[in-house]
Amino acid sequence: MPPNNINHDACQRRIAIISDTHGHINPNIIHAIKGCDRIVHAGDICGAQVLSQLDDVCSHITAVTGNDDCESLWHESEASIINALPAIAEIELPGGTLAVEHGHRHGMHQPDHASLRASHSHARVIVYGHTHTLLIDDSETPWVINPGAAGETRTEDGASCLILTAVSQGEWNIDIIRFNDKNEAVAYA
């Protein structure tokens, strides 16, 4: 193939970022993340059925454990699944590294962004969950982001997720997806 026919889209990846499903994923979130190249779950999965639903959407899943993802809180038949999940994961993407952890080890009520940044200083973006509060802190590098809650538990402003588009030339963009309590899209960038 001649060089001018290079598929530049191959250097771009769309990553769906979710967290805090607590055993249930909002169906609108499932629909919104279809077509992504990878799904990242930042913990508090709370059941293998959630991972199965995600696998139906995309076979490339990276999931980490949250403070509610322990063998005693999952069904006993799912012990091997929960025990196989890491507490921290890193994903190499075009243009940098995405670090993922639940965040509760950096502050139980509100994870400390300075602590997260110190632990993952080599990353371009750090993903955490735990607070169920959607945020994008791009005030310094690495960025610290939280997709909010993608389930039904403590979704005061509605179920939400983020979609990261990583491009090898260095540009990364984050889109916010949120649904209100009537399951209407209120933020879809």
What's the structural domain count of the chain?
Answer: 1
Measured distance CA(122)–CA(124) in Å, rounded? 7
pLDDT interval class at 1 (50, 70, 90): very low
pLDDT, tens digit, 9 for 90 and up, residues 172-184: 999 999 987 766 6
CATH number (domain holding residue 152): 3.60.21.10
Instruction: Classify residue 164: in a domain, yes or no.
Output: yes
Between the CA of residue 144 and those of 69, 79, 101, what are the distances in Å? 22, 31, 11
pTM over 0.85: yes
Q: What is the mean pLDDT of the chain?
A: 88
144-168: pLDDT as tens digits: 999 999 987 666 778 899 999 998 7
Nearest-10 Cα torsion for 109, 110, 112, 116: 90
43 pLDDT tier (thresholds 50, 70, 90) = very high
Whether residue 183 is contained in a domain is answered as no
Residue 28 within any structural domain of the chain:
yes
- Has residue 119 been placed in a domain? yes
**Is residue 153 domain-resident?**
yes
Domain hosting 126: range is 13-173
